[in-house]
């Protein structure tokens, strides 16, 4: 049975839950957010991804009400929330440090927001117990935050921020303090919880793998602007700029000049090299300075010259063995380094290619993305 | 061996500087006043051996303590001391908490300066500073002159030699002991806790009472004990700023020792004072312990 794809951003009839309208935020001379407009839809898991200082945290803090925009409007369900204080918003936040109240038990931490609403006691108790079940914390209800582990604390913070059933949940680097294994598990937990509660999540992270795993859409930010917003696969397979291609994952960048080919373009680069062909590229790029972005796992490596549209010759300089994968660092005759990633389907001892070997690299005519600009 | 030496040091210190003097004071409190030097009897004569020691013990009794219960001056002075200590602690907390809070909320670069300003008064003698208050509070003092000059009052206020002056002196003197522990508790407070409280629906005032205040409780208790305990036995401030109506046990103690030269009664007063102080001191220790455990 085919499932309908969740993509409200492609439907122009859909009303966004959140809308940034030409929002600018300045701190003194520093512009943290630069004339940014963006829609976020209900039930989305929206990731803000970027290096530190790119403005992602400021954007989240404006949603939480801890910062007010210098210019522009932020709409939540159609209403301007620019000057609504944090305690009056149907928005909750999970803090990077978790910000659990150390003097209150796990139970009281989760009940904190509900008590402020003045709900009847039995209703609060029922909701807290529901949250404890959701985050599998029933056993720890009476403990104080310093008496539980980091992973459990993370879940308490999540339960506390979900308890009030916010329209929008903000997560500030929610998994940053966890070790890798726990982080992976928790990512899936987060997705499950997001799906089962139907809450809209906005997550801030600098970890691209995390963003790609959990998010329905990823916004890559740089210098107070959103560079690209798209689903994780589009961000990865079809980055719209060299910045995004370079920021997300590992990539080989080859700079050259584009000329029109039978289909797509071909790129001339280096001296005494054959042009590289990219049949899936826009012919409007012809005549421009371009960068060919090529993911290492789309490059094949072989001892014999293969029959492929794009073939490069080089020497293995380095091999990074990652267990399941190996990344070969190959130096071309032009001096350019190209990385090729191969799955280790055979045991290392049976590996054909080793250091200092002359090898052939090849990739298909549709493997790369050609982007305007320089490196 | 080294561990033993390390542990021994504080115990030897405590023995030599607290327990032995206390034993001597306790012994004097059981003696009788005498016109002699030292002014009490009996004295322990080691040369008379075991029999001498027995005779010495036989002469000790609790009649000085009985005397303390017979004259209502003493228990009134104890009660009055406790009352003054209690109210000055409350006032010091009321003044000190906002100061500590303001310091902890001040920009980072200001904090060392503010801290310095709190500690600065310790650089001059406490006695001189209390004396300075005499000049400020007296009928012809700076305060009255200023208020008269401004036309706020027509007649000088009588402050000096009243309980009000004693309160002013105590609050002024003990303020740093209140501010510093509260400041150290507030300074550690993570700002994101307050943001989280607001995020969960608190107004700023609610956030203060539900988060900031409970988390500074350890500092508040420490500050209160640091003020309350020494103020009970305070002698200098009531005798310099207080009047004849100011009844404090420290003053009585001084008068028994130096005006009456009745060392045994004075010692009995001191021993009772110590017993009264043990309760808050033990509470203080428990509070400190609890805090240390919480921080771990």
What is the tens place of the pLDDT at every residue in B47-73? 777 888 888 888 888 889 998 888 888
pLDDT, residue A182, reads 85
- pLDDT, one tens digit per residue, over A346-374 is 877 777 788 888 999 999 999 999 998 87
* B199 with A86: Cβ contact below 8 A: yes
Measured CA to CA, the distance from residue A87 to residue A113 in angstroms comes to 10
Q: Which of B192, B200, B214 sits opposite A97 (nearest CB)?
A: B192
Check if the beta carbon of residue B110 is closer than 8 Å to that of residue B237. Answer: no
Q: Where are the domains of chain A?
A: 8-242, 250-372
pLDDT, residue A298, reads 93
Domain A8-242, CATH number (from 3.30.565.10, 3.40.50.300, 3.40.630.30, 3.90.79.10): 3.40.50.300
DSSP A39: E
Q: Quick one: which H or E segment has residue B145? A: helix B142-150
pLDDT, residue B296, reads 58
A118 touches chain B (CB under 8 A): no
Q: Which CATH superfamily is domain B71-295 in?
A: MetI-like (1.10.3720.10)
pLDDT, residue A1, reads 44
Check if the beta carbon of residue A226 is closer than 8 Å to that of residue A249. Answer: no
- pLDDT, one tens digit per residue, over B97-113 is 999 999 999 999 999 99
Chain A partners of B195 at a C-beta cutoff of 8 Å?
64, 66, 86, 93, 95, 99
pLDDT, residue A53, reads 86
The rounded percent of chain B whose pLDDT value lies above 90 is 53
pLDDT, residue B96, reads 96
pLDDT, residue B196, reads 95
* B192 with A99: Cβ contact below 8 A: yes
Q: Where are the domains of chain B?
A: 71-295
* Residue A373: how many other CB atoms lie within 10 Å: 12
Instruction: Find which of B186, B193, B196 to mutate to test the A interface (most A CBs within 10 Å of its CB).
Output: B196
Burial (CB < 10 A; 0-12, 13-18, 19+), residue A354, is exposed
Measured CA to CA, the distance from residue A323 to residue A87 in angstroms comes to 49
Q: Which CATH architecture has domain A250-372?
A: Beta Barrel (2.40)
**Chain A residue closest in CA terms to B218:** A103
Task: Kindly tell me the sign of the dihedral angle through the C-alpha atoms of A283, A287, A293, A299.
Answer: positive
DSSP bridge pairs for A172: A204
Measured CA to CA, the distance from residue A351 to residue A349 in angstroms comes to 6
pLDDT, residue A47, reads 95
B154-180 burial string, b = 16+ CB within 10 Å, else e? eeebebbbbbebbbbbbbbbbbbbbbb
pLDDT, residue B89, reads 97
Q: Quick one: which H or E segment has residue B149? A: helix B142-150
* B198 with A93: Cβ contact below 8 A: no
The alpha-carbon gap from A154 to the nearest alpha carbon of chain B, in Å, equals 14
3-state secondary structure of A282: coil
* B196 with A101: Cβ contact below 8 A: yes
**Chain B residue closest in CA terms to A114:** B200
Measured CA to CA, the distance from residue B163 to residue B46 in angstroms comes to 49
Give the dihedral of Cα atoms B185, B191, B194, B196; nearest 10 deg: -130
Residue ranges of chain A with pLDDT lower than 70? Answer: 1-4
pLDDT, residue B279, reads 86
3-state secondary structure of B3: helix
A151 touches chain B (CB under 8 A): no
What would the mean pLDDT of B264-272 be, rounded to a whole number? 93
Chain B partners of A117 at a C-beta cutoff of 8 Å?
201
Q: Residue A49's closest CA among A173, A190, A188?
A: A173
Q: Which of A66, A113, A117 sits opposite B195 (nearest CB)?
A: A66
**Mind giving me the DSSP string for A134-185?**
HTT-GGGTTS-GGGS-HHHHHHHHHHHHHHT--SEEEEESTTTTS-HHHHHH
Q: What separation in angstroms does the CA of A211 have from each of A38, A41, A44, A369, B21?
A: 18, 17, 13, 22, 70
Residue B151 scores a pLDDT above 90: no
> In chain B, what's the furthest Cα-to-Cα distance?
80
pLDDT, residue B84, reads 94
Q: Which of A87, A102, A103 sits opposite B201 (nearest CB)?
A: A87
* A86 with B193: Cβ contact below 8 A: no
Check if the beta carbon of residue B24 is closer than 8 Å to that of residue B264. Answer: no
Check if the beta carbon of residue A108 is closer than 8 Å to that of residue A160. Answer: no
ipTM: 0.83
Q: pLDDT-derived band of residue B295, with 50, 70 and 90 as boundaries?
A: low
**Chain A residue closest in CA terms to B213:** A103
């Amino acid at each position: 049975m085919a499932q309908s794809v969740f993509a409200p951003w492609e439907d122009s009839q859909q009303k966004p839950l959140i809308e940034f309208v030409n929002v600018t935020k300045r701190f003194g001379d520093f512009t943290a957010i630069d004339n940014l407009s963006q829609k976020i839809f209900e039930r989305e898991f929206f990731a803000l991804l970027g290096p530190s200082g790119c403005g992602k945290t400021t954007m989240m803090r404006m949603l939480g009400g801890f910062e007010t925009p210098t210019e522009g409007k932020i709409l939540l369900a159609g209403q301007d929330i620019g000057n609504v204080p944090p305690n009056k918003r149907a928005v909750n936040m999970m803090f990077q440090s978790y910000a659990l109240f150390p003097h209150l038990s796990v139970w009281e931490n989760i009940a904190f927001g509900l008590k402020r609403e003045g709900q009847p006691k039995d209703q609060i108790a029922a909701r807290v117990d529901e949250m404890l079940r959701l985050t599998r914390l029933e056993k720890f209800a009476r403990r104080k935050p310093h008496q539980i582990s980091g992973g459990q604390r993370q879940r308490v913070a999540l339960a506390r921020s979900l308890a009030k059933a916010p329209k929008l949940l903000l997560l500030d680097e929610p998994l940053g303090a966890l070790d890798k294994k726990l982080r992976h598990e928790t990512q899936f937990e987060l997705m499950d919880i997001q799906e089962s509660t139907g809450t809209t999540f906005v997550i801030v992270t600098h970890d691209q793998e995390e963003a790609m795993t959990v998010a329905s859409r990823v916004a890559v930010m740089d210098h107070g602007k959103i560079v690209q917003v798209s689903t994780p696969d589009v961000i990865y397979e079809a980055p719209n700029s060299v910045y995004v291609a370079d920021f997300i994952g590992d990539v080989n960048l080859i700079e050259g000049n584009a000329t029109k080919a039978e289909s797509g373009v071909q790129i001339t680069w280096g001296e005494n090299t054959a042009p590289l062909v990219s049949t899936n590229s826009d012919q409007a790029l012809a005549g421009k300075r371009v960068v060919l972005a090529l993911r290492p796992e789309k490059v094949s490596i072989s001892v014999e010259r293969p029959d492929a549209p794009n073939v490069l010759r080089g020497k293995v300089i380095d091999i990074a063995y990652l267990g399941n994968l190996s990344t070969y660092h190959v130096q071309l005759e032009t001096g350019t380094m190209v990385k090729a990633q191969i799955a280790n389907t055979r045991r290392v001892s049976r590996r054909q290619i080793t250091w200092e070997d002359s090898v052939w690299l090849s990739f298909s005519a549709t493997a790369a993305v050609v982007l305007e600009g320089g490196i | 061996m080294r561990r033993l030496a390390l542990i021994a040091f504080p115990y030897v210190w405590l023995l030599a500087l607290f327990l032995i003097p206390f034993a001597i004071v306790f012994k004097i409190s059981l003696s009788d006043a005498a016109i002699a030097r030292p002014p009490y009897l009996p004295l322990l004569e080691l040369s008379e051996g075991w029999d001498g020691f027995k005779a010495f013990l036989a002469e000790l009794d609790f009649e000085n303590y009985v005397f303390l219960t017979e004259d209502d001056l003493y228990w009134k002075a104890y009660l009055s001391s406790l009352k003054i200590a209690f109210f000055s602690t409350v006032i010091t907390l009321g003044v000190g908490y906002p100061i500590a809070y303001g310091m902890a909320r001040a920009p980072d670069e200001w904090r060392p300066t503010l801290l310095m300003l709190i500690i600065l008064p310790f650089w001059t003698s406490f006695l001189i500073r209390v004396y300075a208050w005499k000049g400020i509070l007296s009928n012809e003092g700076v305060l009255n002159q200023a208020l008269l000059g401004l036309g706020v009052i027509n007649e000088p206020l009588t402050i000096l030699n009243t309980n009000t002056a004693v309160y002013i002196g105590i609050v002024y003197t003990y303020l740093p002991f209140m501010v510093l522990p509260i400041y150290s508790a507030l300074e550690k407070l993570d700002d994101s806790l307050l943001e989280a409280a607001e995020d969960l629906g608190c107004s700023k005032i609610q956030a203060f009472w539900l988060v900031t205040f409970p988390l500074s409780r350890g500092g508040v208790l420490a500050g209160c004990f640091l003020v309350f305990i020494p103020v009970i036995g305070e002698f200098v401030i009531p005798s310099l700023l207080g009047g004849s109506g100011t009844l404090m046990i420290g003053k009585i103690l001084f008068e028994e020792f130096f005006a009456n030269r009745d060392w045994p009664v004075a010692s009995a007063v001191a021993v009772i004072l110590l017993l009264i102080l043990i309760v808050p001191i033990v509470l203080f220790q428990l509070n400190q312990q609890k805090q240390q455990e919480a921080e771990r």
